[in-house]
Amino acid sequence: MHTQHNSDETIINDRILSLRLNFLYEKMIVSVVTTILAATLLVVGLYKTINMPHLIEWYIAIIVIGLVRLSIMKYYKYKNERPDLHLKLFIFGLGLAAITFGIPGSILMPKNAYLQQMFIIVCLTMFTAGSLQALQASLIASYCYPLLTMTPVMIWLFLQARSIYTFVGIAIFLFIIYTLIVAWRGYLTVVEMFTLRFQNAELIRTLSKANVSLLQMNESLVESQHRFQSAFDYAAIGMALVSLNGAWLKVNRSLCNLLGYSEEELLKIDFQTITYPGDLEADLNFIKQILAGEINNYQMEKRYFHKDKHVIWILLSVSLVKNQENKPLYFISQIQDISAKKHAEAELEHLAYHDLLTNIDNRALLEKNINQLIMYSKQKKLALALILIDLDNFKHINDELGHDVGDELLKEIARILTLSVRNTDKVARLGGDEFVIVISDLYEEKIAIEIANKILKAIMEPMNLKGHQVRITGSLGISCYPRDGTDMHALLKCADIALYQAKKNGGDNFQFYSKPL
């Protein structure tokens, strides 16, 4: 008996592990393609500053390892009897990819090329943050990737023995710690989700068998009804019988606890009443398909309103119960709380698209937003301005007052810039003391000039930071779409040239790249 129990437990664990592997491999194809695209971006951005043969060798290694990972996935699809072995192979391939992708952060790091170094660090950071969501199903993989990718660049930064590099190294160290915490939380959520999904499937089978028994064997009616009632009442997830028009017919204790209603209160309303308006149409479309016989069941992520009006994310699984004449009777619904999973996903997305220090947009989100604004400006035949901002003598503040004050200054500058622009404009930090503002709906040049003057005036106001009164000025370079460029890279390049001219003129001023509009 004990041996049979162990055998059943092993089978359950293997099935859950298979679900986790399927999740990992579903995300892996996108991961491999993204890795090669990211490597291509690094090659294009660094070929002038890094030994070309070494760069090409590294790029070929990235492609080869990507093919190896795809081969491992093909092997898993062909022969998947040993999920534990396949998980080890997945982690092995991931480790190779992480180590290789982290090489530009140490061995291939260009010397005396600050912008290229920051470019490498930003690329590695964004790619590492973006990859975490695809690795949640394995704690080892979630830990392995950021550690193997980011640790080399962190060590390299600390070995430079310069304060600015040490500061960036500390930021990378904090980033690694944060990603490990987020990875751990994401892993717990995913494992719980897969475990409950497996239990849901088993529970549905149990309920279906019990229901068939009720219809087919009158002699076992009492026993079958008792079995169904027990499974329903004591299920760990929310369970409900729902009428064809959406009214709750029967609900269990877990569902009442999840939604905050008593059983009597729920039985007086229908599911449409507590469904988030934006999710109702999709839910009703699935119900139409199931009643029309187009599908047998459906599963969807949706939102319910708790009794106290806050929103809950749930995973809804619905099956239709029919009688012996194949006529629909009612729905069986399983409702699982996935709010923690959604929160973890939101945290990962925020980490991938926002600056760690100032919490404003980072380069990745800037590029996404500016591409949309350029498309809009093209359709509406409007201009668009990009303002590149660099603080004057920021290094002096760091050296004299310390990095803590420097960090607070950067946060305050981010706040000032956000308050200085319109709601339709975008503010982002590129890194260091460089910021970007994108001004949309530019009908006339005067708007950009007014905002630039407003920024210069706001920046030079004295600030009290950690007991120090700090004064600083800024230099601004401005480029315009479509006159100076039709994409972010061209506009940034032109704004950088204008910024250089502003610095050359003594700082605390702004310059356009070319003649005014």
Same-domain status, 20 and 90 = yes
Same domain, 91 and 14: yes
With a pLDDT cut of 70, the percent of the chain lying above it is 86
Of 290, 313, 342, the domain-final residue = 342
Q: What is the mean pLDDT of residues 430-449?
A: 89
Q: Is residue 229 part of a domain?
A: no
Q: What's the mean pLDDT in 4-30? A: 66
Picking from 193, 216, 245, the residue at the C-terminal end of a domain is 193
Q: Of the candidates 102, 140, 96, which has an alpha carbon nearest to the alpha carbon of residue 121? A: 102
pLDDT at 321 over 80: yes
Say whether pLDDT at 311 is over 70: yes
CATH number of the domain within which 461 lies: 3.30.70.270
Residue 228 lies inside a defined structural domain of this protein: no
For residue 447, being part of any structural domain is answered with yes
Tell me whether residue 489 is exposed, middle or buried, using C-beta atoms within 10 angstroms of its C-beta: 0 to 12, 13 to 18, 19 or more: exposed
CB crowding 458-478: b at 16 or more within 10 Å, else e: ebeeebebeeeebebebbbbb
Q: Judge whether residue 10 has pLDDT over 80.
A: no
Which three-class secondary structure state does DSSP give residue 255?
Answer: helix
Please report the pLDDT score of residue 489 as a whole number.
92
DSSP strand pairing (474-481 vs 510-512): parallel
328 in any annotated domain: yes
Specify the DSSP element, H or E, that contains 17.
helix 2-46
Structural domain harbouring 324: 235-342
Express each pLDDT in 476-494 by its tens digit.
Answer: 999 999 999 999 999 999 9
pTM of the model as a whole: 0.51
DSSP per-residue letters across 35-81: HHHHHHHHHHHHTTTS-HHHHHHHHHHHHHHHHHHHHHHHHHHH--S
- pLDDT of 177 > 70? The answer is yes
pLDDT digit string, tens, across residues 410-427: 999 999 999 999 888 999
Pair (7, 115) in one structural domain? yes
The reply to whether 338 and 360 lie within a common domain is: no
The amino acid occupying position 249 is L
Mean pLDDT of 345-356: 85
Same structural domain for residues 248 and 325?
yes
Q: Which of 342, 372, 400 is the last residue of a domain?
A: 342
- Does 477 lie in the same domain as 373? yes
Number of compact structural domains in the chain: 3
348, part of any domain:
no
Report the alpha-carbon distance of residue 388 to residue 431 in Å, rounded: 12
Other Cβ atoms less than 10 A from the Cβ of 514: the count is 13
In this structure, of 21-30, 175-184, 225-234, 323-332, the range with the lowest mean pLDDT score is 225-234
- Same domain, yes or no: 259 and 304: yes
- Same domain? For 62 and 87 the reply is yes
For residue 219, give the H/E element and its range: none
pLDDT at position 133: 66
In a shared domain, residues 134 and 259: no
Indicate whether 140 belongs to any domain: yes
Residue 314, domain CATH: 3.30.450.20
Q: Can you read off the two tokens belonging to residue 283?
A: 């839910």
Is 160 found in the same domain as 259?
Answer: no
CA distance 343 to 189: 10
The verdict on 186 and 120 lying in the same domain is: yes
Do 139 and 26 share a structural domain? yes
Strands 248-251, 238-242: pairing kind: antiparallel
pLDDT at 217 over 60: no
pLDDT of residue 4 exceeding 80, the answer is no
In whole angstroms, give the CA distance from residue 15 to residue 12: 5
Q: Is residue 299 part of a domain?
A: yes
CA dihedral 258, 263, 269, 273 (to 10 degrees): -10
On whether residue 117 sits in a domain, the answer given is yes
- What mean pLDDT comes out for the span 429-436? 92
How far apart CA 2 and CA 324 sit, in angstroms, is 40
Q: Residue 139: CB partners within 8 Å, gap ≥ 6?
A: 183, 184, 187
Give the residue ranges of DSSP H helices in 137-162: 139-159
At 38 the pLDDT is 77
Task: Count CB-CB contacts under 10 A for residue 185.
Answer: 18
